[in-house]
Amino acid sequence: MPDEIGLFEAIDTQRALRYIKPDPVPPEMLDRILSAATRAPSGGNNQPWEFVIVQDQDVKTKIARFYRQAWDDSYGQSRDPGPLGARSYSSAEHLAHHIAEAPLWIFVCVRHDGSPPTMWRGASVYPAVQNMLLAARGLGLASVLTTFHTRFEKEVAEILGLPENVQTAALLPFGFPEDGRGYGPTRRAPVDEFLHFDRW
């Protein structure tokens, strides 16, 4: 396990890393990621998360076909980076073509009562997702939050054998970053651009 880094260093340098080596992730790192996830807050402390760990290559290959189709349907045909920008487009395209090579996937799922989906359904599991991403940063692993698979939610749920009251909220591929790819200072717009005090 790598030396620990400070919380704010992790926050300030954590970013999406989509270039992932196929080398296996040690079990103790997986355990640490999952432990971090379950320490997250949730509404009423109801902990509605479920985690589906995928390491089987056949399962990844099946789902990766749907993931690639979702990418192609959204961006791949036009090859116009649009709001993504050229750099983000390139790395997202790389992931769409190579996600099956990531050695470890974790589907973060949410249990629900069958009511119609809303943007709030996943609110109590996304803190767990962020904890997992920060844990990856602390461990020196590459990861990214992606949801392209949800365009084929029914097919993915069938492959994973999810019960009817469980919906995927995010897919996080994990692995060691490819050489020359790593964490560092992030490029973000100044916080002042997003501030509104008391009213808009």
The pLDDT of 50-55, averaged and rounded, is: 98
pTM for the model: 0.91
List the structure tokens of 8: 């704010």
CB contact at 8 A, 177 and 21: yes
User: Does the structure show a pLDDT above 80 at 62?
Assistant: yes
Position with higher pLDDT, 82 vs 20: 20
Q: What is the pLDDT of residue 1?
A: 72
Residue 149: count of CB within 10 angstroms of its CB:
24
Q: What is the pLDDT of residue 84?
A: 65
Q: How far is CA 194 from CA 48, 120, 187, 197, in A?
A: 30, 22, 15, 10
Domains and CATH numbers, the chain: 7-194 (3.40.109.10)
**Percent above pLDDT 90 for the chain:** 68
The pLDDT of 65-94, averaged and rounded, is: 82
pLDDT in tens, 3-16: 788 889 888 888 89
- For the chain, the average pLDDT equals 91
List the structure tokens of 135: 């844990």
pLDDT in tens, 102-143: 999 999 999 998 887 777 778 889 999 999 999 999 999 999
55: nearest Cα among 30, 91, 92: 30
The pLDDT of 27-52, averaged and rounded, is: 95
Q: Using N-to-C axis directions, what is the helix angle for 85-98 and 57-71, rounded to 10°? A: 140
List the structure tokens of 133: 């991403």
Position with higher pLDDT, 78 vs 119: 119
